[in-house]
Each structure stands twice: as C-alpha cells, then as structure tokens.
Structure 1
Amino acid sequence: MDEKNMTRITTIHLLGFQMPQRIKYWIFIIFLLIYCVSVCGNLLIILLVSYSKTLHSPMYFFLSQLSASDLLLITDILPNMLHDILMKKARISFSDCFSQLYFFAVASTLECLLLTVMSYDRYLAICKPLRYTLIMNHKCCWVTVITCWILSISIIFINVLTVSQLQFCGPNMIDNFFCDLDPLLKLSCSKTSILQIAFTFIIAVVVVIPFCIVIVSYIYILVTIFEIPSINGRKRTFSTCSSHLTVVSIYYGTLFGVYIVPNRGQSWNMAKFMALLYTIVTPLMNPIIYSLRNKDFKQALGKLISFSSSLAQQ
C-alpha cells in the first residue's frame, strides 16, 4: 500500500477499442458522421417542437427534453473518443475524467427518468383519456421536467464528489472508451466496498424502479388496447406509443446488459460494444425512430422548410 501511495496517478490511459491502423481513419469518419447526424437530428427535434404549434403537446415536449439529454450524452462521450481514435496513447486528466463521468451519469439518469415520465404520459393518454388534459397540463409538464433535471444533477453530483475524494494510486489504465464508474473505482487504493453497495442501491433507484414503472404502465396500456373492438383502432392506438416502446427496449436492454446482468464470462469487448449502443447509437436512433413514422414531424418539417425558403427568397 505504501508503494502504491508513492505513485499516485494524475492521468488515465483509456484503452478504448483496439483496432488495426489501416481502418482507424475509416472508424474515425464513421463516428464523426454519427456525431454530426445525432447532433443535427436532436437539435432539429428541439427546434421543431419549439417552432410548430401542432407539436405543442406533452408527448413532444418530453421528447424535446429527451433530445436535450441525448445531446448531452453524445457530446460528453464522442468528441473525446474521436480524439482518442487518432492518438496512439489516449490520455485524460483526472479532472476531465470526473467531468466526463459526471455528465455521462447525469444524462443517463435523466434519460431513465424522462422515459419513465413519457410512459406515464402514454398511460394517461390511452387508459385515462378523459383526465389526460386535466392532469398533463402545461404547469405539470414543466414541473415534471424540472424535477427530473434537478434530481439527476443533484444525485449524481453527490456521488461523483464522493468518488473524487478517494485515493487513486494505479494502475492508470481503464479498458474502456470513456470514464465509467466501475473501472474508475478499480483504480482506487481506498476501500470501496461500502461505496459499491451504496452505488448499487442508487442504480436500483434510478434505473430498476423507473423500468418497473415503465413495465407496469405498458401492461395497463396493452390491456386497454386489447379491449378496443376494432383492429384498426388497436393499431392506431398502439402506434402512438410504438416509438417510445422501441427506444425503451433499446436503451434499457443495453443498460441492463452492462450494469445489471452479472458479467462473469462476458468479454470486455462485448461490454464495451453494449456501452457503445446506449452512449452513441441510442442518441442517433431516437430522432430517427420518433420522426420517420410520425406525420406531425413530417408536416412540421415541411412547414419549416417552406418558411425558410420564403425568407431566403425575400
């Protein structure tokens, strides 16, 4: 222990994905395109929801907040990853590592809470349509979203601040493409058993409990849908929540695969691939999933393009 304390580390090496030199630049271009498309897609959703009066409903308001969360998540992870792909030895300072961990955890927690709120919104719209506008009013939407942001920011701040007080003495390598909690704790020479128990409880609160709420909401939704007599009515009703259900399946599926399911026998490359799905692919897929089959978005985009064209001609 004394020998370790003499070599306290100040920088961290992120091993990332080991790849041949000949394909490194192709991987860089692919991830750069993913980042550009993700940022443009999520910004477009926020712009359309703000601009179009037809999208001024609770569902789209929550979706715009989800896009803001996705922007925070992918901007926290991908630019640093792009830099690391081109570098032979990817290094990150301790302060930058904790900053990345903080914003990653805030965005992930916020995403879980917003997906839960959106499932409750769909539950009210389908199962309690007569009370929907009364409960999901403008004030309720803003209070709910602000509460989600405050909870995410405050809970994660306390936890990351606690981790930053630990002693870190090596080795100074993380076999991942970003600073995650578990590999960071393995660098500590302090006792972390109590902290790991506390973090497991927090993960249960911000991931497992919201997921259970989503499951219960969709059980009620499916029961209500099956009670609709016509097949067309069932399809029309289910289509209002199919996009959200797809996003929930992708996000929670990969999240559970990395953090909840025991990873004994699971290679680090597989764990990193699953982490890649919810940190980079999910922010890319969310705008695509929500906008491709949504007539309201297509109409709002058409109006925005027409408005922009008329301004350009003046």
Structure 2
Amino acid sequence: MEKQTQASEFILLGFTNIPELQQLLFVWLFLAYVMTFMGNLLIIVITCSDSRLHIPMYFFLRNLSFLDICITTVVVPKMLADLSTQKRTISFTACLSQYFFFFLFGATEFLLLAVMSLDHYVAICYPLRYTSIMSQRLCSLLVSVAWMGGLLLIVTPIILISQLSFCKSNVINHIFCDYTFLLQLSCGDKHLLELIHFVQAFFTILGTLLLIAVSYFSILIAIMRMPLATARQRAFSTCSSHLLIVLICYGSCVIMYVRPNQEEDLDINKGLALINAVVAPLLNPFIYTLRNQQVKDALREAGRRVFSPQSVRGLQAVQK
C-alpha cells in the first residue's frame, strides 16, 4: 500500500481556521458526542434490562443505537483532537480505516432501517402472527444480514482505493476521510471506482428507501382500514419515530452520494456529512424516547429504582 502512494499522510482542513469559531465548534462537538454516547447507551441498557421491551422492535432499536455510537466515534474524536492540537494530519492507513468504518456502519444502518420497516409492517398488518413470524432467530438473522451486507459493500471500494496513487496535494477539504475527497487527490485512473461507488450508493440508499416506501405504503393502507381511531393513532405513533429518523438519514445521504458529480459544492457536503455523523445519531435517542410511551415508562421506572430511598441508603452504606 505504501509503495503505491507518494502521500504518507493527509491534512484535514475541517470547517474553519478562525480560532474563536474553532473553540465554539470544539465545545459543541464535545457536548454532542457525550450526549450521543450517553443517550444511545441509555437506550441499549433500558431495552436490555426491562423485560417489557424484549420484543423485536427494541432489539432492532438496540442495534441502531449501537451503530449510532460507532458512526459518531469514527469521526468526532479525531475532529476534537484536530481542533485542540491544530495538527490536523492523518496517516494514509488511518484515513483509509476511517473511510472503511464510516461506510461500513453507515451502510449497515441503512439496511437496518429497512429491516425495521419490515418489522413495523408485520406488527401492524399481521398483529396476531407477529410473535411467530418475527422470532428471535429471524431477528438475529436479519441483523446479521445487515452487517454482512455493509461489509460486502465496502470490500471492493476499499481494495481499489488502496491501490490508487496519490501524487497530488495531500490536503483534504473535508471533516473526515471520505472517498470523494480521496479521489480528488488521486492521479490514477479512477473512473471504475467512481462508477462502482455510485452504483453501490444508488442501490444501498435508494434500494433500501424503496423497500421502506413499499412497507409504509402497505402499513398506511392497513391503518386506514382500522375501525377504531385509537388503534389508528397507536399505529401512527409506532411508525412516526422510525419515519422521522429515515427522513433525517436519507435526506442528506441522497444529496451527498447519489449524484454523478460529487466534486462540486464541497462546503455543502461538509454540512451534510456533519448531519450524518453527529446530528442524526444525537437526535435518534431523543426521537425514540420522546415519541415512544413504552420507552418513557421504562425510563421513569428505572429512575424510580435508582433514586428510591432504599437505593440511596444502600449506596450510602456501601460508601461508608
């Protein structure tokens, strides 16, 4: 790998060189990362500890929260280090690793969102057969397929990028190592890689989005046929959180990746990448906790157990 590139390290420009703005950005990114990590970790702990949430919907939600933690961890710590030290350099191997894991976790999340839409479809359209259809074995298989799909999608691009020759500038005008910006620095033939990546992004994003659209079209028909207004409201509430996350994740990615020429509007791409890497993972825990009554009830019950007088006295006795 090192023999085929003249660049041993790259420079990530990030958002700004103004010290005051860098300080504000550092504080915001740090708080966002802490809140993202703690919020998603809380969802994982709550859905694992509360027996009422041991159903397929929350099994998929745990995996989504884990992916959100991974996506943010791939990008934000490096950005915080660059803002605090002003070094902003990243080795070729680290850059390639960052691109690999970001794409792996991102593609897996798209596939998982499609799986979650199928889970909602079965829950609303076949409520009496839901538990028999969505067995624990099937749920584990679907999550495994999502991870394997993300891994298979990144294998070919990462091999081709590792073979490129980088003899141009080593400055990447972005907040992390993305393939679009790596291709800009390459002086070799990159048309095949561009075509492969465009086709993969097209089918990964729009393919899963089509599956989600078909699932929710069927769900909408089933909801409209429900005789009771309370049942329709409960069904809409079940799907609304997932749909909101789909809109946030897919909206920015469609603009970023599913277009032939991605070398234009690089500053816009930075903002969209920040939405994918920071904003979406930060909002997901709040969306599910604020719009999901079962999760809110589990959180309140956990809070009462933790801060009950017996728990406080037990903690004080242990400290003594």
2:127 is aligned to 129
1:53 is aligned to 51
Structure 1 window deviating more from structure 2 (74-83 vs 153-162): it is 153-162
1:194 is aligned to 192
Contact residue 14 and residue 176 of structure 1 kept, 8 A: yes
2:26 is aligned to 28
1:241 is aligned to 239
Alignment RMSD, CA only? 2.0
2:76 is aligned to 78
| Partner Cα separation in structure 2 for residue 53 and residue 31 of structure 1 | 34
Structural mapping, 1:158-307, within 5 Å: 158-261=156-259, 267-307=265-305
* Residue identity in the other structure for 1:289: I
Q: How far off is 1:122 after superposition? A: 0.6
Contact residue 238 and residue 292 of structure 2 kept, 8 A: no
Q: 1:7 to 1:164 in 2, by over 3 A?
A: closer
Q: How far off is 1:43 after superposition? A: 0.5
For normalisation by structure 2, the TM-score amounts to: 0.91
Q: 1:155 to 1:265 in 2, by over 3 A?
A: closer
Structure 1 window deviating more from structure 2 (233-242 vs 103-112): it is 233-242
| Partner Cα separation in structure 2 for residue 233 and residue 103 of structure 1 | 41
Q: How far off is 1:30 after superposition? A: 1.0
* Residue identity in the other structure for 1:72: C
Structure 1 window deviating more from structure 2 (12-21 vs 169-178): it is 12-21
Verify: 1:68 aligned to 2:76, yes or no: no
The answer for unaligned runs of 5 or more in structure 2 is 315-320
Q: How far off is 1:87 after superposition? A: 3.7
Verify: 1:115 aligned to 2:113, yes or no: yes
1:106 is aligned to 104
1:313 is aligned to 313
For normalisation by structure 1, the TM-score amounts to: 0.93
* Residue identity in the other structure for 2:82: D
Contact residue 47 and residue 59 of structure 2 kept, 8 A: yes
Give SS of 1:92's match: strand
Contact residue 4 and residue 164 of structure 2 kept, 8 A: no
Contact residue 7 and residue 170 of structure 1 kept, 8 A: no
The answer for unaligned runs of 5 or more in structure 1 is none
Give SS of 2:90's match: strand
Give SS of 1:223's match: helix
2:89 is aligned to 91
| Partner Cα separation in structure 2 for residue 44 and residue 6 of structure 1 | 45
Pairs aligned (count): 310
Q: 1:313 to 1:262 in 2, by over 3 A?
A: farther
1:157 is aligned to 155
Q: How far off is 1:231 after superposition? A: 3.2
Structure 1 window deviating more from structure 2 (235-244 vs 153-162): it is 153-162
Q: How far off is 1:19 after superposition? A: 4.6
